[in-house]
Amino acid sequence: MGTITIVSFALFFVSCIALEPPSEDDLAGIQVPPLQNEPKFYTRASFKHKYVNNAGVIRDTKSTGYWVTISATTNCQATALEKAALIVSRMVKHMPADVFNGLSKSHGVGIFSAKEGLTVYPEFSNLRDTADCHHKCSGSCAHTCTFDGRKYETLGGLTSSISCVVDDNVICDSADKNHHHQNTLVHEFGHLVMHYMPSHLRSQIVAAYNHAKQSNLWNNHQYAMATNGEYWAEATAAFFMSTVRTDVTGGMNLCGGHHACSSDLLSRHYLGKHDPTLYKILEYVYTDNKPDIPGDLKPCV
């Protein structure tokens, strides 16, 4: 990868990175104790793979045609790779070919364990923390930290040319820092879709975001409205109702109330009514204009 420059919450397209929303534990001020005497697996990591095509077919080997690669380190829990492939399958199985074919040029999805950290993936190895930078984010250590002082390698999700997500969230175990309220893979994969979709669609998202922000369609003080990338990723999560959080979505998944919509179809109806420009892009990108097909996704799959 080339040099990464951080602008506000995220950057876009091939040289970009896009952060996961702060976890519920992060926002609550819960300090997760650092792993002591737990070696990182950096250079010795090995990976297992599955492949997903535009029809949502999942295979262990890649044949001719267009495929999205799903990877997991061998240190991940056993079901993480299977669940990640299933989530991606459900997100792409109704996607139009022009969107999926571009997406197949990405590095796909990477699942890692918490003790490895996302910098186990080569795409993010330059963000790795060092002994000299421990607890430091200034000067020569700035590249190891997010804009808000989190170490990159402690994040549960990050996207550039690959969407990386921690296995605890994918399998929804007791260590999930979002407490089964958010499917981080859906959010991060939304970023990946935006990075690799046809440029005219990406321009439409930017225009929709600018209009939504200027018109106060959503809560401009929440994470969803920080950038056009987070706007799209949180809208993706609401479209599939893969999040029931109320603190970061800008209201996209609340159906006009104070609680999460009860289904993805109700959420889609609300998105279409409240932000029709955004919804028009969502329904094309994820369903090829057939939005009445349920996505069959949720915070825990």
Return the exposure string of 10-36: e unless at least 16 CB atoms fall within 10 Å of the residue's CB, then b. Answer: bbbeeebbbbbbbbbebeeeeeeeeee
pLDDT at 37 over 70: no
CA–CA separation, 200 and 164 (whole Å) = 26
CA–CA separation, 52 and 163 (whole Å) = 15
**pLDDT band, residue 220 (cuts 50/70/90):** very high
Q: What is the pLDDT of residues 15-29, one digit of tens each?
A: 467 878 878 666 544
The percentage of residues in the chain with a pLDDT greater than 90, rounded to a whole number, is: 83
**pLDDT band, residue 148 (cuts 50/70/90):** confident
Q: Where are the domains of the chain?
A: 18-178+187-192, 198-287
84 within 8 A of 280, measured Cβ to Cβ: no
Comparing 4-8, 219-223, 252-256, the range with the smallest average pLDDT is: 4-8
CA–CA separation, 125 and 243 (whole Å) = 29
Q: What is the pLDDT of residues 187-208, one digit of tens each?
A: 999 999 999 999 999 999 999 9
Stated pTM of the model: 0.89
Residues in the chain, overall count = 301
230 within 8 A of 49, measured Cβ to Cβ: no
